[in-house]
Amino acid sequence: MLQGLHHPIESTFGSQTSQDTFSQTDPYLQLHQIHKTFGRFTALSNINLEVRRGEFVCLLGPSGCGKTTLLRIIAGLEEPDRGHIWQAGQDITALPPSQRDFGIVFQSYALFPNLTAAQNIAYGLVNAGIPKAKREERVAQLLALVGLSEFGAKYPAQLSGGQQQRIALARALALSPGLLLLDEPLSALDAQVRANLRGEIVQLQKRLGVTTVMVTHDQLEALTMADRIVVMDRGSIVQVGTPIEIYQQPQTPFVARFIGVMNFLPGVLESSEQARCQDYRLQVSNPKAIPVGSLVTLAIRPEDIRVGACASVNTLEAAVLRFEFLGAVYRLWLRVGDGLELLLDLSVQEARQAQIQRDRPLLIQLPPEHIHLFETQP
């Protein structure tokens, strides 16, 4: 772990694991059937996950879904009841945190308030037995890496939230870990700072190539930062995929609802390609081959609904109940027939063309390729 300090900082990460049985193509981190309960509460059940070397993975889910518990299990701060964890080919399940190879940034940063920024960064280096000169060099490197070279002598309370966050990141990276764990690292910051740091963290991660697992409940954060998103709900993994897959092909209504905005229409599958919602027959695609006759939920994103009199399938007449101006888009509340309600997002230009007015009928089309079909659970 230490010889990495001699090399340029970019090459130090993850380089210390030269297990000869471990090939570069194997997953770097592997979780196998992780199970965790707190008393009667099941925090995690049957979690299987593989993370590739250099990948940025986000654990995304509502609060209480178990994502932080999972991160703490990876760190060794919690012990799973069952299951195994491999990192770089080694079973680390039974190792205490101090013997694992990772750096972590906590939601609160947990910077030691009585130590300066530089002392905080050096905290783990001192213990690794690195001589003072090397230590100082390393701290200077890390301060430069996070763009805070001038701030080494400041105490955490004298730094802004964003600066504290970056010092915490530098402290987590100080020992050149093979794995970086981030627990909601941006949630304590202002919206503006958060947006800036999102980009910075991803750039840094790509530059260092350090495998990263981040926990967040913010879908925007996950969509913009992650290579792959792991959506979790009530202790289980619901879907794993790239941000585009997760957004465009949600596997369950939960994922569809949790990420982005989605319209849901209850209906019945009448034939393999057609569903009935109230009095309307809509063409759908049925890749999952849901049996005909099943109760289904049709889902479509507000921006996927088309406006205007096109003569193709799934065209409906809707009444505009109300609309909101959101800056780049208008959001319309529509009613179709007696009880079907839909949200529709229109760009300002489209809205102008369509001459949106309240109580004026509007022709909309639900393109079959954008309709997601879910079997309704009884």
Partner 1 sequence: MTSVSRDRSLGSLGLAVSQASVTRKPTREDWLQRGLILLVALWLLVSVVLPLGQILSRSLVNSNGEWVGLANYRTYFTTPGLAISMRNTLWVSFTSTLISVGLGFGYSYALTRTCMPLKGLMRLLVMLPLYLPSLAQAIGLIYLFGNQGLVSTGLFGLLPEWRIGLYGPTGIILGESLYCLPQAVLILSTALLLADARLYEASLALRTPPWRTFCTVTLPGIRFGLVSAIFVCFTLVFTDFGVPKVVGGNYNVLATDIYKQVIGQQNLVMGATISVLMLVPTVIAFVVDRLVQQRQVALVGSRVVPYRPRPNPWLDWAAFGFCGLVAGAILAVLGALVVASLVRVWPYQLTLSLRHYNLNAAPGGGYPAYWNSLRMSAYTAIFGTVVVFVSAYLVEKSRQWPKLRSLIYFASTLPVALPGLVLGLAYIFFFNTPSWGGIPNPFHGLYSSMSLLVICNIVHFYTVSFLTASTALKQLDPEFEAVGSCLGVPFYRTFWRVTTPLCLPAILQIGTFFFVQAMVTVSAVIFLYPPNLRLASVAVVNMDDAGNIASAAAMSTLIVLTSLGIQLLYWAATTRLRRWSQAWKER
Q: From 136, 124, 146, 140, select the one nearest 1 (Cα to Cα).
A: 124
| Contact characters 80-119, partner 1, x per CB under 8 A | xxxxx-x--xxx-xxxxxxx-xxxx-x-x-x-xxxx----
Minimum gap (Å) between residue 83 Cβ and partner 1: 6
Complex with partner 1: residue 91 or 341, whichever CB lies closer:
91
Burial bucket for residue 378 (CB in 10 Å: 0-12, 13-18, 19+): exposed
- The H or E element that residue 207 is part of is helix 191-208
Cα 120 to Cα 155: distance, rounded to the nearest angstrom:
9
19 binds partner 1 (CB under 8 A): yes
Residues 127-157: b if buried by 16+ CB within 10 A, e if exposed? eeebeeeebeebbebbbebbebeebbebbbe
Rounded least distance, CB 63 to partner 1, Å: 16
Q: Which is nearer to partner 1, 124 or 260 (CB)?
A: 124
Neighbours of 377 (CB within 10 A): 8
How many helices (H) and strands (E) would you count in the chain?
A: 9, 20
How many residues touch partner 1 under the rule CB under 8 A: the total is 51
Task: Compose the 143-182 pattern: x for residues touching partner 1 by CB under 8 A, - for all others.
Answer: ------------xxxx------------x--xx-------
Candidates 2, 15, 32, 356: give the one binding partner 1 (CB under 8 A).
32
Per the DSSP assignment, residues forming a β-bridge with 316 are 364
We find the least distance from the C-beta atom of residue 183 to partner 1, in angstroms, to be 9
Q: Which is nearer to partner 1, 88 or 246 (CB)?
A: 88
Are 45 and 237 spatial neighbours (Cβ–Cβ below 8 Å)? no
Of 78-86, 244-252, 340-348, 361-369, which part binds partner 1 (CB under 8 A)?
A: 78-86
SS3 sequence of 219-259:
HHHHHHHCCEEEEEECCEEEEEECHHHHHHCCCCHHHHHHC
Pick the closer one to partner 1 by CB: 98 or 192.
Answer: 98
- Which residue ranges make up the site for partner 1 (CB under 8 A)? 19, 21-22, 26-27, 30, 32-33, 75-77, 79-84, 86, 89-91, 93-99, 101-104, 106, 108, 110, 112-115, 123-124, 126-128, 155-158, 171, 174-175
